[in-house]
Chain A
């Protein structure tokens, strides 16, 4: 494989996330900390789920292919549930942190809102999830080899990159939806996030039939994007104003249709 594959897949997978990071998170130290803590929570959830899978595998017959595949599927589902559980734990932690920040502040309001935290936490989860899925692949892409020489799909790297990108976006939107559901006691939003995650992970069981995994994931991502945008205060009007570069009342020439403001 070549440098072109390496850079191409890196930018496909991490380009959007990196720009999100650079433009919205990198300037605020508090957001960077929340991002890294989110990555840490995802990591811990992965650790626990791999522990369970590892124990199950060690307790079973390693030569039974179907059983191993079944155990892997069980591992994936369990990992998804554990990730969402840790997202909930992180929400609890951030709630407490907001109370602390309010107590320490001069004017009684926190420097960051729970919605912003939701977004950053989602990006944190997504970045770590994407990194763990993709980095070893990228390192291998730099070395010599031919993709799919034994009859597997030749699009392995490319589809992995696209899948990683969609997962990063999905985690971001799920973060927003999940926290919004927790804040406003709307349990069906939380259930929807969990089900979406299970659906996306489940769709990857169709791989290498990529139509079965990438297409549903992108559709779900579009749906989650719209939903998260609406929940964050966006509307069709905002979007139109943003796209037509119209300013708001205090307009000083900048694009002020963004939800965060």
Chain B
């Protein structure tokens, strides 16, 4: 395997996850009132066709919005939505940790990325610290430049370029990285394999992945693919980022996430606002969505009809998709996915010609699925990637091993829970990285340096606390 191919991980996947990491979901107040009214009617109705995780949590009161008062403390997301995010985040981390623990390829040092040119094998600690700071600075500037480039491209409606960029990066992840992963797994378990079988497997895996992520497919399959590509990306980072650089990058990127999403001139905020003005969806393959909203029963109320977004589920909408992609250059193939992202920001509210057409084609007496509990929750793939990088690095390099991994895992989940709570209270786009990564970093260093010696001594004497 050539050094070049290993080192030159392209910009594209980096950009992908830097974009995705900042976005989160929210709900704007102006639309929430109208939705509240419908929610109160629909709350009582059971929705058999929803694709949520099937738990009859209709009595989770946190999520239900009060129909009378607008100013009542209402939480848009409840316990159920937290769990809908816990599960995929946990799965991604489990995949990464399992791979790190079994496949030695991802813990072997085989050079560094071109974005982190300074080595950490230096004589003095000061030199190492300086090098890692420089590496982190370079990586973060690359990410910032790419983000700004993306925002500029989006603002000037160069959708084809963006779309092509994303397709190339998902192609790379789904074919090339998974081929390397498969190869390393086979090497670890000493499985004899021929190229023809591998070619067939990778081809099928990759093509189905491209279809699921960029077009439409079963929800669970799409979620599984998104988790897998996040895990693959996280593994690449764990392998190619030297230690101190990795921790520094994690810290700096959570600060960047905070700034980019919350500051008025932050690139991600501008991106989200531009997309909102244009009533468009954001990029496909960057957001993990936990549920599909079925586009059912909007015909009763016209404003309601206009606000219902359809994700990759209803056939009417999807049938309209290709035509609209050509007919309306504004949408450029993004409309469907953007609605996914919009669902986060302002709930499933979307007004697009195809959704209205689809809605009018439906019978008017079917139940709507716009239950608060059925509303999905979304998390950017960048968040998945960086959470998994943290936990993976903890399991790879910690002296406390499993204790440290477990501590980081719990810390990240609690951070995610708190972020969702803040999201439910403040109802605007929030960065998902800062709280979790801060907790994760604090617990990593504390557990590795303080708790591990203590637990070691306790285990040695077999004392129990």
Contact = CB atoms under 8 A, between A and B. Distances in A.
Interface stretch (A14-22, A31-39, A185-193): A31-39
B414 A37 contact: yes
Contact of A36 (B78, B413, B461): B413
B314 to A, nearest CB: 27
Interface stretch (A87-95, A198-206, A229-237, A249-257): A198-206
B465 A76 contact: yes
Contacts of B407: 43
Overall SS of chain B's interface: helix
A47 B61 contact: no
Contact of A83 (B403, B451, B465): B465
A172 to B, nearest CB: 16
Interface in B422-465: 443, 446-447, 449-451, 453-455, 457-459, 461-465
B61 to A, nearest CB: 3
B465 A201 contact: yes
B45 to A, nearest CB: 15
A135 B462 contact: no
Query: Chain A, interface size: which category?
Result: 35 or more
A83 B465 CA distance: 9
A219 B455 CA distance: 26
Contacts of A259: none
A212 B172 CA distance: 61
B57 interface: yes
Contacts of B457: 72
B60 A201 contact: no
Contact of B462 (A28, A33, A106, A207): A207
Interface stretch (A97-105, A173-181, A239-247): A97-105
A36 B465 contact: no
B268 interface: no
A7 interface: no
A192 to B, nearest CB: 19
A97 B403 CA distance: 29
B446 A76 contact: no
A70 interface: no
B20 to A, nearest CB: 24
B79 interface: yes
A47 B450 contact: yes
Contact of B403 (A110, A136, A160): A136
B410 interface: yes
Interface string A120-137: 000000001101110111
B450 A136 contact: no
Contacts of B410: 36, 39-40, 43, 128
Contact of A46 (B411, B413, B465): B465
B369 to A, nearest CB: 19
A73 B457 CA distance: 11
B2 interface: no
Nearest to B403: A132
Contacts of B64: 104, 106
Contacts of B62: 101, 104
Contacts of A72: 457-458, 461, 463
A49 B465 CA distance: 11
A101 B61 CA distance: 7
Contacts of A29: 55, 57, 60, 78-80, 82-83
25 contacts: A27-B55, A29-B78, A36-B86, A36-B413, A36-B414, A37-B414, A47-B443, A47-B447, A49-B465, A51-B450, A53-B454, A73-B463, A103-B73, A106-B61, A128-B410, A133-B455, A135-B406, A136-B403, A137-B459, A159-B462, A160-B462, A163-B464, A164-B464, A200-B464, A201-B465
Given A30-B79, A133-B464, 13 more contacts: A29-B79, A29-B83, A33-B83, A43-B411, A43-B443, A47-B450, A51-B450, A73-B463, A83-B465, A104-B61, A105-B61, A163-B464, A164-B464
Interface of A: 27-30, 32-33, 36-37, 39-40, 43, 46-47, 49-51, 53-54, 57, 69, 72-73, 75-76, 79-80, 83, 101, 103-106, 110-111, 128-129, 131-133, 135-137, 139, 156, 159-160, 163-164, 167, 200-201, 204-205, 207-208
